[in-house]
């Protein structure tokens, strides 16, 4: 009975998402402290490439991640993507790749995430990802942090010698 419920839930998910085929997406200008999500559902087997575009209006730190949502029962692959690749591009040049990566500073501009792989599931494949943007600390904040650590070090050393 549990298998049937799982199978029906999976079929319902596929039917509900069938109108949302993978396509190029534009996330617009991203805001600090918000996570922007992107995803794709590919119904046809074979190689695919999707492009997700976003813009930054200043210099920011960024964390990007993506992965596939594979669904298999025994040896049957209902939803499956192999050879999944997730890359960040700036002006056509790859500046980062992998399922998860961070940047200490991305400058203002337009970026693209290139997502590719091979869909080999019976009902296609699905992926999802997200981007989180954070402010880059001001140099004076970093300097104050270093002075604070130095003061703690001096206090700890002084306490040891007493």
CATH number of domain containing 62 = 2.60.120.380
Cross-strand bridge partners of residue 29: 55
Q: Show the domain range for 25.
A: 2-138
d(C-alpha 73, C-alpha 54), whole Å: 36
Q: Where is 114: in which H helix or E strand?
A: strand 109-119
Number of domains in the chain: 1
Q: Is residue 146 part of a domain?
A: no
Least Cα distance to 113 among 130, 135, 137 occurs for 130
Q: pLDDT, tens digit, for every residue of 88-109?
A: 999 999 999 999 989 988 999 9
Q: Is residue 160 part of a domain?
A: no
pLDDT tier at 145, thresholds 50, 70, 90: low
Q: Where is 12: in which H helix or E strand?
A: helix 2-17
Q: Tell whether the model's pLDDT for residue 3 goes beyond 50.
A: no
Q: Is residue 150 part of a domain?
A: no
Tokens, residue 70? 């594979």
Length reported for the chain? 162
Q: pLDDT, tens digit, for every residue of 116-128?
A: 999 999 999 999 9
Least Cα distance to 45 among 112, 111, 151, 118 occurs for 118
Q: Is residue 56 part of a domain?
A: yes
Q: pLDDT, tens digit, for every residue of 24-75?
A: 899 999 988 888 999 999 999 999 999 999 999 999 999 999 999 888 888 8
Per DSSP, the three-state class of 88 is strand
Q: Is residue 159 part of a domain?
A: no
């Amino acid at each position: 009975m549990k298998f049937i419920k799982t199978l029906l839930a999976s079929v319902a998910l596929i039917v509900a998402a069938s109108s949302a085929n993978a396509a190029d997406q534009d996330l617009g200008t991203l805001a600090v402290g918000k996570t922007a999500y992107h995803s794709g559902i590919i119904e046809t087997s074979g190689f695919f490439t999707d492009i997700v575009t976003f813009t930054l209006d200043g210099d920011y730190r960024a964390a990007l991640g993506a992965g596939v949502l594979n669904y298999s029962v025994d040896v049957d692959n209902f939803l499956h993507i192999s050879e999944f690749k997730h890359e960040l591009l700036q002006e056509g040049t790859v500046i980062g790749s992998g399922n998860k990566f961070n940047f200490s500073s991305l400058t203002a501009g337009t970026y693209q995430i290139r997502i590719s792989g091979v869909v080999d599931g019976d009902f296609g494949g699905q992926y999802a990802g997200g981007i989180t943007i954070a402010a880059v600390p001001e140099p004076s904040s970093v300097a104050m942090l270093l002075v604070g650590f130095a003061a703690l070090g001096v206090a700890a050393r002084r306490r040891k010698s007493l």
